[in-house]
Amino acid sequence: MAEQADSSGQGLHARLLDALGPAITAGEYPPGTVLRTDEVAERYEVSRTVVREAVRVLESMHLVESRRRVGLTVLPTAEWNVYDPQVITWRLAGADRPRQLRSLTVLRSAVEPAAARLAAGSATPQQCADLTEHALGMVATSRGHRLGEYLEHDVAFHRVVLNSSGNEMFARLGDVVAAVLAGRTRHDVMFSDPRQEAVTMHVQVAEAVREGDGERAESVMRNITVDAMAELDVLAP
């Protein structure tokens, strides 16, 4: 079973965060808006302590700035820590989800081919096995409207590639890729089964990595990401 995600955590401060974060990232409090601690405390019926803790976190995400005698100022979008998983989650849940999905897909297009190339040079036998397993899993579930299972294998596959690259910066993008992939199928119900060519390419990446052919792994993965971009162009405005 999938984990509970890390939003909606326990504790008042976490719940306040899950109220403020989405509100800010959704533009409900546009940049330049000034809030006061007491005001927030009253509105959400929590103590100032709780508000301050939540604010410290928002501040570390560069969503707001707290200044004495002024209050909490919502910062312009350009300042936000857009790599923070929580910020990504909030934005994906909000109004500019399409734009966000596009940004992330472009990032994927840059990172995943590079990761695949590196993976070919440093994946462990276990990782190669996992790769093959999930690629075959995708094949097996690519027909018959088993999108749920298909997605799980797809996500796992890309996670393994990123982890196998041996680069921790790449590895940490696993959640991002998962969010993008999940978003794709969840957003609009995909009636049709995945395209067979896409499935085949995953198998090929697994092969290339197993054989240590970085060049080919990168190249095929690049085609996968090109596909993803194209798909996005069809679905989104």
Partner DNA sequence: TGGACCATAAAAAGTCATACTTAAAGCGCG
Partner DNA sequence: CGCGCTTTAAGTATGACTTTTTATGGTCCA
| Residue numbers at the binding site for a copy of itself (CB under 8 A) | 13, 49, 52-54, 56-57, 59-61, 77-78, 81-86, 103-104, 106-107, 109-111, 113-115, 118, 167-172
In angstroms, what is the minimal distance from the CB of 5 to DNA?
Answer: 17
Segments of the chain assigned E as strands: 34-35, 64-67, 71-74
Residue 11 φ/ψ region, left for φ over 0, alpha for ψ in the -120 to 50 degree band, beta for the rest? left
Out of a copy of itself, DNA, none, what residue 109 binds, judged by CB under 5 to 8 A for its kind, is a copy of itself
Between 36 and 99, name the residue whose CB sits nearer to DNA: 36
Alpha carbons 124 and 65: distance in angstroms, whole number: 45
Q: Which helix (H) or strand (E) holds 172?
A: none
Tokens linked to 38: 């007491």
> From CA 63, how far away is CA 121, in angstroms rounded?
39
Select 117 or 132, whichever has its Cβ closest to a copy of itself: 117
From the list DNA, a copy of itself, none, partner contacted by residue 185 (C-beta under 5 to 8 A by kind)? none
In the list a copy of itself, DNA, none, the entry touching 35 (Cβ below 5 to 8 angstroms by class) is DNA
Minimum gap (Å) between residue 77 Cβ and DNA: 22
List interacting residues with DNA (CB under 7 A): 10-13, 35-38, 46-50, 52-53, 55, 66-72
Tokens of 175: 């959640």
Smallest gap from residue 86 Cβ to a copy of itself (A): 7
Q: Which residue's CB is nearer to DNA, number 46 or number 161? A: 46
Side chain identity, residue 51: V
Nearer to a copy of itself, 88 or 208 (CB): 88
Residue 38 or residue 215: which is nearer to DNA going by CB? 38
Cα atoms in the 13 Å half-sphere on the side-chain side of 52: 5
Q: Beta-carbon neighbour count of residue 52 at 10 Å?
A: 14
208 CA to centre of own chain: 26
List the one residue out of 207, 111, 237 whose CA is nearest residue 162.
111
End-to-end, the C-alpha distance of the chain in Å comes to 33
Nearer to DNA, 47 or 196 (CB): 47
Residue 81 binding partner per list DNA, a copy of itself, none, with a CB distance cut-off of 5 to 8 Å that depends on partner kind: a copy of itself
CB of 57 vs a copy of itself, minimal distance in Å: 5
Distance in Å, CB of 209 to DNA, minimum: 39
User: What is the closest distance, in whole angstroms, from the C-beta atom of residue 49 to DNA in the complex?
Assistant: 4
Phi/psi zone of residue 32: left (φ > 0), alpha (ψ -120 to 50 degrees), beta?
Answer: left
